[in-house]
Structure 1
Amino acid sequence: MTIKEVSIDQILPIRQQVMWPDKPIDFVRVPEDEHGIHFGLFVEENLISVVSVFIRGQEAQFRKFATLEQFQGKGYGSKLLQYIFDFLEEKNISRIWCNARISKAGFYQKFRMKETEITFEKAGIDYVVMERVYESSDF
C-alpha cells in the first residue's frame, strides 16, 4: 500500500465511479480542483482510494473522498483519511472540515470530527458539514 500525491486526471474516474456513476465526469469536478492537493492510495500499483485537500489559511477542507466499492470496508479509506489528518496537522491547520453525506457521518466521527448545525441537499443526497477543530495545545 502506498499513499502519494496524484493528478486531478488520475482521481476523476474514481470520483465518478464511486460517487456519481450515472453523471458525466464533469459533474465530479469542483471549481477549486486546479488549486487542490490530490492524494491517492495505491494497492499493488492500482489506485483504489482518492481525496482532494483545499487549504485556505489555517483551515483545510477535504472533498471528494472515494474508495472503489470492492475495496470498501477493508480499512483503506481510513488509512488515507488518517494520512490526510497527519499531513494537515504537520502544517498546523487549526480546522479541518468536510461536507459529509449524512449516511456516512459515523465514519467521520471515528476521526474525532463533529457534526455542525449546517446541513444541505445536493442532487437528492443529504449532507452535514463536519469539522475537527484544534486548540493550540493540540500541537
Structure 2
Amino acid sequence: MSSEKIISEIKQISSSETLQIRHKVMWPNKPIEYVKLPNDENARHFGLFINGELTSIISLFAENNVVQFRKFATLIEYQGLGYGTILLKSIIDLLEKKGIKKLWCNARVEKSKFYEKFNLKPTDKKFEKDGIDYVIMEKTFANNG
C-alpha cells in the first residue's frame, strides 16, 4: 500500500499545453487541429497538475462579464478520482471572486448531471455536433449581477 502524498496544483497554462489532453480525451480520432479553437489565444487556460503531471484542463472565454468554459477534460486514467471536480470548483470560486456575472458551457447531454453538482442549470438551448447532443448550461452569480 502506497502512502505517497498527492500534490495537486492549479496553474494558468498556454493554449498549446491544452491540446494533447483535448485531443486524447475528446476527439482522439480527429486530427489535432480539430481541437484548436479559433480564439484560443484570447482565452485563459488552466491546468490541474497532480504530482507535476498535467491531468485536467479547462479554457475560459470571457466577454462582457460573462465567461464560457470550453474543452474541459481530464486524462482518462485520472477520471473518476475527483480531479476534474477540483479544477472546476476552483475556477468557479475564482470567477465568483472576480465578480463575473454568469458562467456557461456547452455540455454533452450525458455529462449534464455532473455540471448540475456545481449549480449549473440546463437551459432549453440544445444542439447536435458531430453526432453528439449538447445542452447549454449556465450558472448566474447572485452577488455579481
SS at match of 1:105: helix
What residue in structure 1 maps to residue 86 of structure 2? 79
What residue in structure 2 maps to residue 126 of structure 1? 133
Residues 66-100 of structure 1: CA deviation (Å, up to 9, x unaligned)? 00001000000000001110111111111100000
Give structure 2 stretches of 5+ with no counterpart: 1-7
Shift of 1:44: 1.1
Q: Percent identity?
A: 50
RMSD: 1.1
What residue in structure 2 maps to residue 16 of structure 1? 23
What residue in structure 1 maps to residue 3 of structure 2? none
d(CA) in 2 for partners of 1:38 and 1:11? 8
Shift of 1:135: 2.4
The one-letter amino acid of 2:17's match is Q
1:33-112 alignment to 2 at 5 Å?
33-112=40-119
The one-letter amino acid of 2:102's match is R
The one-letter amino acid of 2:88's match is L
Give TM-score, length-normalised by structure 2: 0.92
d(CA) in 1 for partners of 2:142 and 2:114? 23
SS at match of 2:30: coil
SS at match of 2:25: helix
Give structure 1 stretches of 5+ with no counterpart: none
Which structure would you say has the larger Rg? 2
